[in-house]
């Protein structure tokens, strides 16, 4: 599976993100794209956040699927105060590092790795799994920090089968 990795705006940790998606456990091949998208039409002034569903719609029309877009502004979907990321199965996902930041670099990287893997899991069709695996749903940073950055054996198997067969 080739993944379009889209670095949006001033997302900085490009090398790290590349490593996460191409690391042995995941084994995706990336087609790396760098774009400055302003997503002006997706911005909600009243919330001071970007509508992730709107962003996914724009990305879906512009880039090869599946894609992973990394963003630095706060994102939400209707009905939730915020999200760390959102995915559409077989299409792509957006992950924002806005709420993942930490004074400790390793904490930030650990969070970012988990959220990237989690959303990519949804992209290949995985649902939520139980704690402490990476596909566990996390609604807060505490939950992100408490879970592992690994897929359980079932999810891992599904993941590797799907990226072999599809796309």
Binding site for Zn ion (CB under 5 A): 129, 133, 135, 152, 155
Of these residues, 19, 119, 143, 161, which one is catalytic?
119
Q: Which is nearer to Zn ion, 9 or 110 (CB)?
A: 110
> Is 119 in the active site?
yes
Q: Which residue is nearest to Zn ion (CB)?
A: 129
Q: Which is nearer to Zn ion, 77 or 152 (CB)?
A: 152
Q: Which is nearer to Zn ion, 59 or 158 (CB)?
A: 158
Shortest CB 74 distance to Zn ion, Å:
18
Q: Which is nearer to Zn ion, 37 or 143 (CB)?
A: 143
Cβ neighbours of residue 136 under 8 Å, at least 6 residues apart?
128, 129, 130, 143, 147
Sheet strands (E) in 63-163: 67-71, 75-76, 85-88, 92-96
Shortest CB 45 distance to Zn ion, Å:
27
Nearest to 86 by CA among 107, 68, 65, 108: 68
Shortest CB 25 distance to Zn ion, Å:
14
Distance of alpha carbon 114 from alpha carbon 101, whole angstroms: 13
Shortest CB 95 distance to Zn ion, Å:
11
Cβ neighbours of residue 25 under 8 Å, at least 6 residues apart?
150, 156
Nearest to 6 by CA among 134, 92, 126, 73: 92
Catalytic amino acids?
Answer: 119
């Amino acid at each position: 599976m080739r993944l379009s990795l889209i670095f949006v705006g001033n997302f900085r940790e490009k090398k790290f993100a590349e490593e996460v998606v191409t690391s042995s456990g995941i084994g995706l091949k990336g087609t790396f794209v760098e774009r400055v998208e302003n997503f002006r039409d997706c911005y909600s002034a009243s919330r001071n956040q970007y509508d992730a569903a709107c962003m996914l719609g724009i990305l879906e029309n512009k880039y090869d699927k599946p894609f992973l877009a990394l963003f630095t502004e706060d994102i939400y979907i209707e009905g939730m105060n915020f999200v760390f990321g959102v995915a559409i199965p077989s299409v792509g996902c957006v992950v924002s590092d806005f709420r993942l930041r930490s004074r400790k670099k390793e904490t930030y990287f650990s969070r970012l790795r988990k959220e990237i893997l989690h959303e990519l899991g949804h992209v290949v069709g995985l649902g939520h799994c139980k704690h402490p695996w990476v596909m566990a749903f996390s609604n807060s940073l505490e939950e992100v920090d408490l879970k592992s950055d690994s897929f359980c054996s079932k999810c891992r198997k599904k993941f590797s089968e799907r990226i072999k067969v599809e796309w």
